Structure 1
Amino acid sequence: MFNLLRKIGGKQQLPESLLLIKADLKKYNSVSILEEQHLSWGDQQLLQLIRLKTKQLNLNNVTRTKAYLDFYIFRPEIHWAFLGHMVSRNGGWNMTDLKGEFLSRLMNEKTKQDFYSFLERGNWLIFQDVYPQFLLYEESLFQSRNLFYLLPYLNVSAFMEVIWNRFWEESDSYTLAIALIINEQNYLENRIVRNSFYQRKVFQTFEFVLQDLLSFNQILFPFTDSGKSTEKAPLTGLTLHQFGSLHERIMLGKDLYRLLFHEADLLEKVYRWATTHPHTGSRKDYWPDVFNDVFEGVPGLAITRRLKSCALRKGALRLYSPRLEYVWENIPHHEAETGDWFEHWRVVDYLVEVKEPINGKVMGEYCETLERLELAAIAKTAIFT
């Protein structure tokens, strides 16, 4: 954590609103809380309902992704819900890519399973941490009183208890969104990124290095002017090259937030696309002219060049990008590891707002990525056949 803090350290002056958060964090004491059975009957019932609803919606990437959007539609002040929805769509596309046209030829079945486990676990962990926070906020609105004293019973970081208390007073959507980015990435750090199993099975594998070299880490935000489901959507987005760096993931999250929420016109176009294109996990959702969720080729037939500048060559078959339900079954998860990541108030420095717009011109890079993956798949097929 302190290496991370040095990266954002410096002597920057915090605005007054963040000074208040800093003061709250510095005086926060992780005192022992009442055992849950000693809470009021109403609080106990509420906690049980939150856990139950979260579990019901945490079945797979599709159910989680829909839950984020459904929440945002009714609570648009919670910006992270829409950012989380769009990033979770990308997580689903990455999951189905493992069984799709190119990566399925570059990985063996065991490696695909390991990569899916890695992606699914991270997606599951974030939802089971953040969605109870949303439900508690919603209930606080319903009861017209602050219920965030219940966050520790949901294993939510002390950092977020301070942030939610401040949001209840000030309704600062930006600060809450960035705080949630900080929280979720720190939450994943030891549970996923530093986890010895994923270090061995994913991060140290040739396939992970290959994926990074091919820049297959783009976060894509499709958008539309018309909302027609048959159109090829334009894309904006950014690329993450250092997944293993907590600092880089937080900064990417901040940049993605700025890209999505800095310009109301782009936000409206992304929102229109999202609400008219239900998430399936297939990349056909945004490019139906390039991808299909049904395999159009002949099994075992050698693949040839089909792509040129993000379009299919004349007469070429569409690329296979299956729906999530076609290729991955729901899997049970063991309970999330306990422990609070929060150690030092200096993490507040990440909350300082940067207002410059972000260049989200990702189309060219994404097109090159697809073509490089196609060439890699063709080369591997040629070598081993």
Structure 2
Amino acid sequence: MPWIAGQQLQGGKYVIEKVLGQGGFGITYKALDIELQRTVVIKTPNEYLSHDPEYDKYIERFIQEGRTLARLSQDPHPHIVGVIDLFKEGVTHCLVMNFVPGENLFEAVRRKGALPEAEIVPCICQIGEALIVVHQAGLVHRDAHPGNIMLRSNGKAVLIDFGIAKELVPKTLSSKGIAGNEGFAPYEQMSRGSREPTVDVYCLAATLYYGVTGQRPTTSLARKLDNTSLTPPKQINPSISDQLNQAILKGMTLEAKYRPQSMQEWLAMLEAPKATPPPPVDPVYRKEIFRSKAKLNSQAILGKPATKSFKIIPWGWLLGILFSYLSLGYSLASSNAPHITWALAGAWALAWAGAWAWALAVALAVAGALVWAGAVALA
């Protein structure tokens, strides 16, 4: 008989507030930790299971996995419910966990309908990361359906209510006892109680199917025994990407050996493809760009419109221009002409001809030559 509101456990340490859920394998209560004044969740095996011939093995597994989860809670994971306590009240074993506020994925879909891909995929990835930690600890959740995924108001998802040892009690339970997970459990779990990580891969992929379509997927039993096909989620919700559609179908492959064999492998299928970086620039091409920019900048300094076409003056021409300027400087100095004006005019003429760099050099040389010629003339 389930405990009632107000019932005290452990000498008044915990007080039952209400039943949160009851299934074929256990009962979950909302309770108050009196000493710390915090809300907790207490999970117990269903009382009638005590008559099952496998009950002792079930309790042994319940305690063993409860202790393992408590060890995981010593280094808390943000997406795994924390285990606080494990005790026995009379003949009933109890596992105490943190209370996670919010709504579960079942409730969210019932309220809003099919969830956008951008909203549900990050939550599923968070739960997948949590399951990787669980698998590394040697456990399999076996019950990662929408009712056991809590969605906080901040958009974070938390995995709760581990399906501890439920495969050890098949004799007492009717088919109705596992109907709560129908559509989310793989065939090998329902038929022989598999404890492989591929069970969680199927469950989480089926949960994602439900999240993006708003519909429960075809059960694995119907697919296996009746050869019923699974409707691809994209046929129900055409707005989802092809990548997501394929990831869900791959994760829900009926035969476990053809599914991704680890949660990491399946999560990689949900990741967006990374952009391919552009090929590296050839060093010669970069050098030419640098030279061109230097020429354009120099033209800008001289006040001439930038152009990508440059004229090259042969060295012979430059020597001829230099000697011509030397002669011109001497003549101008002798006649007291405004030699600086003529020199600069010549330099600008060369600049407009496209040889600005050499014109500047010649102008400087001419200025020196004119000074020398002027000195000679005055002497």
Q: Which has the higher helix share?
A: 1
Larger Rg: 2
Structure number having the greater strand percentage: 2
Normalising by structure 1, we get a TM-score of: 0.25
* Higher relative contact order structure (alpha carbons within 8 Å, sequence separation ≥ 6): 1
